Amino acid sequence: MTKEIRSAEWDAEVLESNVPVLVDVFGTYCPPCRALAPTLDRLASEYEGRAKVVKVDVEVDRDLASGLHVASVPTVIAFRDGKELGRLVGLRPEGAYRKLLVEAGVS
């Protein structure tokens, strides 16, 4: 299952994570974001222990979303060792998110 985080948890959950992290920046008002949620929940379960998926609500934590240079939602960003490795903007097929995980070093 995905975990919603706030800026206070950012360093521990993302930058200091010992596994790659997908960060889903979403809005509750956003139909594509709601459509993406089950896919990300499935990936979080499937890759548990090898990667994690966290969510940032753009309405709740605007400063964090702005700091990530998110212009539209959903935006999914891959991090490994505290560095951004890639991002997908808009709703994509599940395979695109799997590819992003592989590019982040998840096997």
Measured CA to CA, the distance from residue 2 to residue 4 in angstroms comes to 7
Measured CA to CA, the distance from residue 33 to residue 40 in angstroms comes to 10
For 19, what's the count of Cα atoms within 13 Å in the CB-facing half-sphere?
15
Active site residue 47: no
Q: Which of 19, 30, 37, 91 is catalytic?
A: 30
CB atoms within 10 A of CB 90: 12
Active site residue 3: no
Q: Which of 14, 22, 33, 101 is catalytic?
A: 33
Catalytic residue annotation: 30, 33
